[in-house]
Amino acid sequence: MPYVAVVDLTRAGAPDGPPLRLRRESLTAVRQALGELAQRLGTCGAVRVGGVHVLEVDAEDHVVRTHDLDAGTHVAGHRRGTLTTVPTPRGVRALHR
């Protein structure tokens, strides 16, 4: 099943546009894409990562599970339209490793 990483970006503490959606075929590829995004943003730019949610979706883009990048998997029953409301605790810390 594919994975979707939903990345909320902020500028000066306020949302900076709609969330980015990075769709990849494996959890490893999601981690790599998030690492590349973190490198691109750097540590001193105006745009920061406000939150990250990693979702495993089925063929119809329904969320099957949410993944905490530190550890753990949670079952969910949310449609794609609610992707940004599905929390994944500690997910943003994975970008800073």
Indicate if the pLDDT at residue 82 is higher than 80: no
> Residue 11 has which token pair?
């500028």
Q: pTM to 2 decimals?
A: 0.66
Q: Tally the domains of the chain.
A: 1
> Residue 50 has which token pair?
């406000």
Residue type, 9: L
Contact 35, 23 (CB under 8 A): no
Q: Give the C-alpha separation, 58 to 36, whole Å.
A: 25
Chain segment 27-50, per-residue pLDDT in tens:
889 989 988 888 888 777 788 888
Structural domain for 41, as ranges = 3-96
Residue type, 94: A
